[in-house]
């Protein structure tokens, strides 16, 4: 993981936030190539799930909402993680994550489950009392000191960032920064029905930032307090929810495998057990990615039933029902929610693309092997010598009509190739005066390092075909 982070920092993908002031813990700035990489993934997601569909609508909502929204959705009372303190150092940790690390090291799982009367091995679903009991009896180590100390009782820690509106700062002016993007869609459901005249099934999508006061953020951009979500709420008939949930599991998996080309062995689907499901869920599946630090959730597909619409209907006293003209009946729709963290998917793409290989001369080559559609820079224009600058400008102008391009005329051609390989650029176009006089340029391919002479008039179409 450290090597991936170092390459990402060295090659203009992600830097620490507020770096000149000693940085702010767990704050990250996306630089040119990280920004474009993230936007490319977002664009491909929108093309696959939005552009190709005729039953979708977009929403761009505000960060702040009426606090009653979070009461109705159970976020004020229930959106929390289990917090536990080391009594010796008073460091704070998520109890469930420490217990997950413990479980990975246990050889006799059945004896462990029997000892503590456990129905599953998902600590997040255990009671706080059970988490505390196992932490103490198993002498779980503080991961920073590697010593076992007395642990406090595990307690709930609400993850929402609290701020204030108006001039005074008291309980009457409390307001929250959103911890997710879903509730705006539910709250706007009556407006959607009234103005769109849509018939079920249909969906509403949003890509926006959310904020969570994580207890233990870390692993680079994996778990951060500020992150982007690509979220869909798919409204369907109540009797079709499980069928639709299965379709979304497949669609999301295929996007990862066939659109951004993440390796199959890096992914797995995990269905939540019945005693692990969230209070609103009828079925939930996580698509997990094998990060260098283990298997972790990348994309969650949840059958949220009608929980959210009913909750807001009770709290707001507004009608959230849908009239079905086909069956001539009125009901509250069920909702399927495929939600992926864009920032986490960006990290997964970096990890999956990180490649090292030994060349014939025993030299090691390290680079990001992005699928060309995902790569931040598609083409790098390289004049062999600086005196060809006027020529590269003509080529750059032609290519930039269709692709994100850059040029470089510093250092030897070999060093430039190595640099652009590291960035993940799939194609380099090399210009020399001899070939250019014949209206030809050399295209060099990142993965094979082979080269091909291409007519300048056919260059854009040649590269377009390679990007499909």
Position 300 scores a pLDDT of 96
3-state secondary structure of 202: strand
Instruction: Please say if the pLDDT value at position 7 is more than 90.
Output: yes
Position 33 scores a pLDDT of 97
Q: CA of 90: how far to CAs of 102, 119, 149, 159, 448, in Å?
A: 20, 31, 10, 19, 53
- Reported as a pLDDT band with limits 50, 70 and 90, residue 70 is confident
**111/410 Cα distance (integer angstroms):** 63
Instruction: Please say if the pLDDT value at position 413 is more than 70.
Output: yes
Which segment, 44-58, 197-211, 273-287, 338-352, is predicted with the most confidence on average? Answer: 338-352
Each residue of 100-135: pLDDT tens digit? Answer: 999 989 989 999 999 999 988 889 889 999 999 999
Q: For all residues of the chain together, what is the average pLDDT?
A: 91
Contact 85, 152 (CB under 8 A): yes
Position 321 scores a pLDDT of 95
**313/317 Cα distance (integer angstroms):** 5
Instruction: Please say if the pLDDT value at position 290 is more than 90.
Output: yes
**139/102 Cα distance (integer angstroms):** 10
Burial 253-263 (b: 16+ CB within 10 A, else e): bebbeebbbbe
Architecture of the domain whose range is 2-62+178-352: 2-Layer Sandwich (3.30)
- The residues pairing with 354 across neighbouring beta strands, listed in sequence order, are 368
Predicted model pTM = 0.87
- Strands in 161-293 per DSSP E: 161-164, 174-177, 202-211, 226-236, 267-271, 283-291
Query: Mean pLDDT over residues 229-254, rounded?
Result: 96
Same fold, 2-62+178-352 and 377-466: no
Query: Mean pLDDT over residues 232-254, rounded?
Result: 96
Query: Mean pLDDT over residues 415-434, rounded?
Result: 93
Instruction: Please say if the pLDDT value at position 387 is more than 80.
Output: no
- Reported as a pLDDT band with limits 50, 70 and 90, residue 310 is very high
Instruction: Please say if the pLDDT value at position 195 is more than 70.
Output: yes
Position 126 scores a pLDDT of 92
Instruction: Please say if the pLDDT value at position 167 is more than 80.
Output: no
- Reported as a pLDDT band with limits 50, 70 and 90, residue 31 is very high
Closest by CA to 438, choosing from 454, 414, 416, 417, is 454
Closest by CA to 366, choosing from 418, 408, 426, is 418
Query: Mean pLDDT over residues 192-205, rounded?
Result: 90
Instruction: Please say if the pLDDT value at position 335 is more than 90.
Output: yes
Domain boundaries, the chain: 2-62+178-352, 80-158, 377-466
- Reported as a pLDDT band with limits 50, 70 and 90, residue 77 is low
Pairing of strands 202-211, 226-236: antiparallel
Instruction: Please say if the pLDDT value at position 79 is more than 80.
Output: no
Topology of the domain comprising 80-158: Herpes Virus-1 (3.30.40)
Topology of the domain comprising 377-466: Rossmann fold (3.40.50)
| Angle between helices 2-10 and 342-353 in degrees, nearest 10 | 100
């Amino acid at each position: 993981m450290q090597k991936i982070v170092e390459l990402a920092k060295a090659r203009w993908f992600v830097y620490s936030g507020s770096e000149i002031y000693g940085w702010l813990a767990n704050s990250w700035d996306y630089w040119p190539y990280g920004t474009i990489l993230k936007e490319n993934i977002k664009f491909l997601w929108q093309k696959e799930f939005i552009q190709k569909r005729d039953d979708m609508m977009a929403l761009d909502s505000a960060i702040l909402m009426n606090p009653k929204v979070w009461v109705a959705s159970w976020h004020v009372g229930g959106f929390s993680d289990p917090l536990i303190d080391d009594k010796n150092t008073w460091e704070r940790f998520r109890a469930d994550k420490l217990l997950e690390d413990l479980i990975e090291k246990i050889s006799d799982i059945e004896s462990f489950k029997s000892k503590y009367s456990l129905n599953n091995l998902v600590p997040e679903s255990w009671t706080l009392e059970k988490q505390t009991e196992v932490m103490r009896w198993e002498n779980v180590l503080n991961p920073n000191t590697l010593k076992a100390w007395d642990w406090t009782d595990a307690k709930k820690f609400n993850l929402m960032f609290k701020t204030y509106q108006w001039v005074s700062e008291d309980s009457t002016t409390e307001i929250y920064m959103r911890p997710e993007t879903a509730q705006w869609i539910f709250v706007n459901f009556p407006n959607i029905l009234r103005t769109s005249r849509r018939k079920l099934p249909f969906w509403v999508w949003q890509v926006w930032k959310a904020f969570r006061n994580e207890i233990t953020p870390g692993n680079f951009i994996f778990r951060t307090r500020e992150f982007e979500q690509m979220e869909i709420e798919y409204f369907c008939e109540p009797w079709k929810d499980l069928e639709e949930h299965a379709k979304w599991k497949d669609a999301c998996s295929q996007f990862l495998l066939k659109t951004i080309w993440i390796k199959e062995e890096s992914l797995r689907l995990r269905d939540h057990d019945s005693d692990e499901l969230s209070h609103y869920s009828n079925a939930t599946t996580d698509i997990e990615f094998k990060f260098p630090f283990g298997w972790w959730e990348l994309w969650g597909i949840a059958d949220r039933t009608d929980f959210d619409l009913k909750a807001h209907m009770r709290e707001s006293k507004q009608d959230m029902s849908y009239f079905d003209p086909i069956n001539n009946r009125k009901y509250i729709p069920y909702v399927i929610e495929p939600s992926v963290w864009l920032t986490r998917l960006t990290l997964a793409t970096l990890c999956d693309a990180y490649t090292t290989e030994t060349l014939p001369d025993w030299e090691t080559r390290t680079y990001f092997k992005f699928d060309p559609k995902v790569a931040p820079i598609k083409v790098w224009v390289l004049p062999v010598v600086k005196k060809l600058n006027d020529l590269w400008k003509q080529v750059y102008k032609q290519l930039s009509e269709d692709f994100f391009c850059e040029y470089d005329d510093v250092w030897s051609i070999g060093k430039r190739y190595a640099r652009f390989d590291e960035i993940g650029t799939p194609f380099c176009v090399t210009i020399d005066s001899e070939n250019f006089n014949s209206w030809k340029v050399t295209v060099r391919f990142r993965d094979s390092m082979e080269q091909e002479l291409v007519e300048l008039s056919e260059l854009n179409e040649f590269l377009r075909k390679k990007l499909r």
